[in-house]
Amino acid sequence: MTLGRAVALLLLGATLVTESSALGAVSAASVAGTYSFVNQESGFVVGDRYSRVFGSTGTISFDGTGTCTFSYSGTGYEVASEGPGAVTVAGSHLSKTATTCSYTVSPTGILDVSADTDTFSFFLSPDSNMFTTGAAAARSDVGGPAGLSAKQMVAVKNGSSLTNASLAGTYRFVGQDFGLRQAAPGTVSDLLREVAGSLTFDGNGGCSISSEGKEFVHGDSFAANTITSPPASCSYSVAATGLVTLTTTTGTSALLMTPDGGTLIGGGAETVNQDYLSRKLVAVKAPADMSGTSLKGSYNFSYQEARFYAPSVGDGSGTSGLDKGISGGNGQIEFDGDGMCYFTYGGQGLGNSLWEELPVNDPILCSYVVSPDGQVDVAPLIGDGFSFWLENGARRGTGGTPLGYNAAVGDIYKVRQIVLVQPTPIAAAPQSITVPAADADGSYLVTWSASATNGAAYILQEATDAHFTQNVQEYQATDPSLLLTGKTAGRYYYYRVKASLTGYADSEWTNSATGCAVPGTPVPSVGSLNVPAQSSDGNFTVTWSASAVNGATYVLQEATDPTFSGSLREAYQGTATGTTITGALVGTTFYYRIKAFAPAYQDSSWQTSETGCKVGPNPAAAPADITVPAVGPDGTFQVSWSASATQGATYLLQEATDANFATGLREAYRGSATSTAITGGVVDSTYYYRVKTVASGYEDSAWQASATGCKVTALVPVAAPLTITVPVGDLDGSYTVSWGASATKGVTYLLQEAADAAFTQMVQEYQVATLGKLVTGKQLGNRYFYRVKAVREGYADSTWKTAAAPCAVPGTTLAPLASLTVPTVDADGSYTVRWSSPVTGGVTYVLQQATNATFTAGVTEAYRGSETSASISGGVTGTTYFYRVRAVKSGYKDSAWKTQAVGCKVIGMGVAAAVPLTLAVPTADIDGIYAVYWGASATKGVTYLLQEATDAAFTQSVQEYAVSGLRQAITGRSQDTVYYYRVKAVHPEYADSAWKTAAAACAVPGALLPALTMLTASATQQDGSYQLSWNSSSKAGVTYVLQEANNSTFTMGVREAYRGEAVTAPINGRSPGVSYYYRVKVVKTGYKDSTWKMMTGFKKLPL
């Protein structure tokens, strides 16, 4: 058994914990010590009456630093076998010793304990004297059904020097038992019990106790019992640790007491007579007078509820329907101190065949009243109210509510308790903090706004870095300011402050926006300096980022070299973050640097610009390259170059007949294009070219010259390739085009590709040196045409060699059709087959028909076209036709066949559907609400027509119901009326079936007959005979039924003594010494029977 069962078992007792102004914020150290706890669990297995309870006591010890150990011992009881035949209760003992765990405590009082692989959260009181938790959960045993359980744990801290005098005054308590009762052999009942009362201790070992409550027992029958215990004397003793031994007239009990004497808890597993119990009690010390006390603040709460459904649910056996239920969860409730409140909650509800998450609902408004004796009554606008008792000082409380009421599902009986714990409050943080930017002598005042939490003190933290990791020092202050002295020169100090108050968790930190600079601290350097790279007229702006020190002054220096050694001058001094430079000398580059200074600070370091500002136009960017062919056949060729990076550029191209551009120099082109055609070259002459960029506002760029010139040759065509080979088709768009070699040596090839035979669409060219080209990435569903020619510098290109046929690249396989709809039967052999549209548009559908499901017999193409349905006709009676369909499209692979496993059988005209096998109608119904059922027709795909009438010939008040299932709910039938029913099967391809008529009609009774008012017996005659008589019924045409029995409950010797229309009945032949009891009632067709009229007394013939 893990900590999951040892620790998170109980949430049924109500405990209210409020804060105390004498307490500090809780932490891991707050819980150092040993706590004693009580666990309680109730549960059952879904779907039967296999019930379980478990109770235990134990201890858990915390070391104050995050490590803990726990031990416990307990007993569980459960029904020994499942189902209504359970006959006994079995018990098992569970324990664990010195098990290691770990824990954490949040400032607001959430205690998380981890052991094995589980972690559980508890609500810890601000004084750390008590914690509690609970929940509802479902689990499955290995190989068994789902088990449901509600669990709770309550723990109190052990004291060290407690005595009888520590326990004095009146305590209000709520006690609760979960159990199994074996009152008689062969039966086991579930038990819920809740009592409330008071214990009064005199501080010297004497006490008195009184209580009252309710007990609910649920087995094969149900009982709700009231429990009352008048005041009785008792005695007690208190151990130093807080263990209380309580002795009453019924025995001795153990209780656990908090160190302050405010709360008592007790419980565990116990067998009392024939009851096997898991027990728990929570008691709080009552206040002397709560008059005028206000309850205010936010509380976390956990709740738990267990309930029974009375035997009126289901069949009355107590084993059907949801005969048991438990729930548990958590939430918050807010009291405003003036009688109004609201709460939200969520959790889990569990029933005998139900598992449900309860949602966190919207806030529910409620009101509350605090009585002088410390009772708090909470009344929500919706749902049940609840009450709890406040402990002295309003720090804790306990409450519970046994309840019984009638609901739509029957009578419900429940016990319910709630646990409330107010989290440790958090002090309000100061809204602002003010720190001087600098100080001359290291003595200055730091101030902050006051916390909204009354009485709060402050913790001021100082550091020499903004992350508060270096030279950290803390100061305590009661006022919202602190004078700091002796701060070291040359340092920068940062500050933050938080509020602190006993009984509250510390607030969040409030940080100052900047620190305080003490003399000698350098001003942080300027973050950035922005200088333009070029100025055409010598007028430009230099800017920089602001210093982190408020009120800093800036010094900007200018020089004509980056080392600031030439023509150095101060260009600006002031507090602005930019200045305008005017009149700078054209043709000169100016460099800049800046620093900041401020009173009580050292000057910052210089911030220097990465580049200077050149005054005058910049050179335009030259083209990166120039392309000149090596040979120009017939003196006509193309020269091209790359574009300049300068916007708005134009280009100047020069031509010469030597590489130094000294002879034959001419301007070959001027414009914005990046290529030009050269014509008129002289054969056997070589021409050289260079290009530069020209742009407004810029100097001309440098020349970009070609490495070699172009030699003009006579124009001779090369031989064309002899062949070209192109695959006629390809699946994936990757294939090779090849060709035969040109007879001309030294050629390369130009392969041209297009989407049409005229080579005008989607034309792409490939320069190839070999006799083949691998083509990849061709689009599916397209056709590609190819032609090739040979080229060589100094020669005219050959003619094109064109492939005889293109290459078709098919598309991907078409997706199979999603659906194919074929009627299962048809009368005349004419019907429609339908199918779904595919994702790909423009497809053609091919529908095949066959006379077997494997499409090996009678296969024909029934349809080909673009529609998604086909009309079928001419089917032969008695033949079943099967169908399959697929999509096809040019450029795509055909889709897979979509086949319908069931074919369409042609049955011929006039075949009737099979009649429904049965029709079940109740012979009578009390309230006119019932259901009619029938057996299915053997014909597939039918619907049903149910007919109702008030005569057997179905001619009066006829009503019809079209039904697709095998049941029709009937409502609103008139009382004193008999209803007849018949049903038939209907199918669009069959004739309607014959009617199936119910064997008997349903009689809806009328009102309850009035009971008789008199039943008497005449004097006994000597032969032992006598006569019974009764008054006449006010309703005419009735029959009287007289019953006789040998006991007053009519469970022994019951027989019908008379049935008829008379108001008297003779009795003869009765045995001497035997007692005879009588009762009479009125019956009439169409009416509910009257209640029985019992005869006063009984007849007993003398011996």
Q: Tens digits of per-residue pLDDT, 367-425?
A: 988 888 888 888 888 777 888 877 776 677 787 767 666 665 566 766 776 766 666 67
d(Cα 459, Cα 488) in Å, to the nearest integer? Answer: 21
| CB 313 within 8 Å of CB 329 | no
pLDDT at 134: 72
Helix (H, G, I), strand (E, B) or coil at 1050: coil
Short-list 587, 591, 598, 537, CA closest to 564: 591
Sign, CA dihedral 104-110-111-117, equals negative
What's the rounded Cα separation, in Å, for the pair 319 and 322? 8
CA angle 871, 877, 878 (to 5 degrees): 120
- Closest of 1060, 1081, 1072, 1080 to residue 1017, by C-alpha: 1080
Give the mean pLDDT of 703-726: 89
Of 771 and 619, more confident: 771
Lowest mean pLDDT, pick from 143-147, 488-492, 775-779, 822-826: 143-147
State residue 50's pLDDT score: 54
- The fraction of the chain above a pLDDT of 90, given in percent, is 43
pLDDT tens sequence across 431-464: 999 998 877 778 899 999 999 888 999 999 999 9
Q: At 4, which helix (H) or strand (E)? A: helix 3-6
Q: What is the pLDDT of residue 315?
A: 40
How far apart are the C-alpha atoms of 1083 and 1052, rounded to whole Å?
23
Question: CATH topology for 717-809?
Answer: Immunoglobulin-like (2.60.40)
- Asked if the domains 717-809 and 820-906 are classified in one and the same CATH topology, the answer is yes
Bridge partners for 1075 per DSSP: 1100
CA distances from 460 to 439, 441, 481, 902, 1035 (A): 19, 21, 9, 85, 95
Condensed to tens digits (0 to 9), the pLDDT of residues 297-349 reads 777 776 667 776 665 444 434 344 445 777 666 777 888 888 888 888 776 66
8 Å CB contact between 506 and 587: no
Domain spans, the chain: 296-421, 433-521, 523-615, 626-714, 717-809, 820-906, 919-1004, 1015-1100
pLDDT at 1103: 59
* Residues 289/19, Cβ–Cβ less than 8 Å: no
Strand, coil or helix: what is 922? coil
What's the pLDDT score for residue 1009? Answer: 85
At 168-191, the pLDDT tens digits run 989 888 888 888 888 777 777 788
Task: Round to whole Å and give the CA distance between 313 and 436.
Answer: 78
CA angle 149, 155, 161 (to 5 degrees): 160
Rounded to whole angstroms, the Cα distance separating 710 from 706 reads 10
Please report where in the chains the tokens 């019974």 appear, as a residue.
1028
Handedness of CA 1028, 1031, 1032, 1033 (dihedral sign): negative
What is the pLDDT of the chain when averaged over all its residues?
A: 84
* 419 vs 813: which has the higher pLDDT: 813
The answer to whether the CB of 1024 falls within 8 A of the CB of 1072 is yes
Distance from the Cα of residue 671 to its chain's centroid: 68
CA angle, residues 505, 510, 512, in degrees to nearest 5: 160
The answer to whether 1017 and 1040 are in contact (CB under 8 A) is no
Least confident of 247-261, 563-577, 887-901: 887-901
* In the block, residue with structure tokens 């007289």: 1042
| Neighbouring residues of 417: CB distance < 8 A, sequence distance ≥ 6 | 12, 13, 14, 174, 176, 194, 303, 304, 305, 399, 400, 401
Three-state SS at 29: helix
Fold (CATH) for 919-1004 = Immunoglobulin-like (2.60.40)
Separation between Cα atoms, residue 197 and residue 377, nearest integer Å: 16
Please state whether beta strands 534-535 and 540-544 pair in parallel, antiparallel, or not at all (unpaired): unpaired
- Say what the pLDDT of residue 140 is: 52
| Contact by Cβ (8 Å): 300, 420 | yes
Predicted confidence at residue 438, as pLDDT, reads 79
pLDDT in tens, 987-1018: 988 989 999 999 888 877 777 889 999 999 98
Q: In the prediction, which pLDDT does 550 show?
A: 86
The answer to whether 309 touches 316, Cβ cutoff 8 Å, is no
Query: What mean pLDDT is predicted for residues 528-557?
Result: 90
* Torsions phi, psi for 758 (to 5 deg): -85, 0
Task: Compute φ and ψ for 1006, nearest 5 degrees.
Answer: -95, -150
CATH topology of domain 1015-1100: Immunoglobulin-like (2.60.40)
Vertex 23: Cα angle to 22 and 27 (nearest 5): 165
Instruction: Report pLDDT for 188.
Output: 79
Phi, psi of 614 (to 5 degrees): -85, 125
CATH superfamily of 820-906: Immunoglobulins (2.60.40.10)
Residue 758 above 90 pLDDT?
yes
By mean pLDDT, which of 159-173, 401-415, 897-911 is the weakest?
401-415
Share of the chain above pLDDT 70, in %: 88
C-alpha closest to that of 258 among 568, 17, 57, 83: 17
**pLDDT above 50: residue 635:** yes
Mean pLDDT over residues 881-892, rounded?
86
CB 89 within 8 A of CB 78: yes
Q: In what order do the strands lie in the sheet with 578-581?
A: 529-530, 540-544, 578-581
CATH code of the domain occupying 523-615: 2.60.40.10
Rounded Cα–Cα distance for residues 277 and 181 (Å): 9
pLDDT of residue 977: 84
The pTM for the full model equals: 0.45
- Stretch among 143-157, 526-540, 693-707, 726-740 having the lowest mean pLDDT: 143-157
β-strand 324-336 against 296-309: which pairing, if any? Answer: antiparallel
The reported pLDDT for the residue numbered 446 is 94
Residues facing 820 on adjacent strands:
835
CB atoms within 10 A of CB 551: 10
684 Cβ contact partners less than 8 Å away, ≥ 6 residues apart: 711, 712, 713
Q: Which residue in 432, 555, 547 sits closest to 499, CA to CA?
A: 432
Cα separation, 155 vs 123, in Å, equals 11
Match domain 433-521 to its CATH number in 2.60.40.10, 3.40.50.1370, 1.25.40.20, 2.70.70.10.
Answer: 2.60.40.10
Measured distance CA(883)–CA(826) in Å, rounded: 14
Asked if residue 347 lies in contact with residue 330, where contact means CB atoms within 8 angstroms, the answer is yes
Helix (H, G, I), strand (E, B) or coil at 315: coil
Q: Is the pLDDT of residue 10 over 50?
A: no
d(CA 916, CA 748): 87
How long a stretch of residues is the chain? 1103
Say yes or no to pLDDT of 1080 above 90: yes
In this predicted structure, the answer to whether residue 733 has a pLDDT above a threshold of 50 is yes
Bridge partners, 589 (sequence order): 614
Beta strands in 964-1047 (DSSP E): 967-970, 977-986, 996-997, 1002-1004, 1015-1017, 1026-1030, 1039-1045
Please, which pLDDT band fits residue 13 given cuts at 50, 70 and 90? very low
CATH of domain 626-714: 2.60.40.10
Pair 793, 630: CB distance under 8 Å: yes
What's the rounded Cα separation, in Å, for the pair 740 and 725?
A: 9
Give the residue from 400, 401, 414, 376 showing the smallest Cα distance to 299.
Answer: 376
Question: Where is average pLDDT lowest: 49-53, 106-110, 579-583?
Answer: 49-53
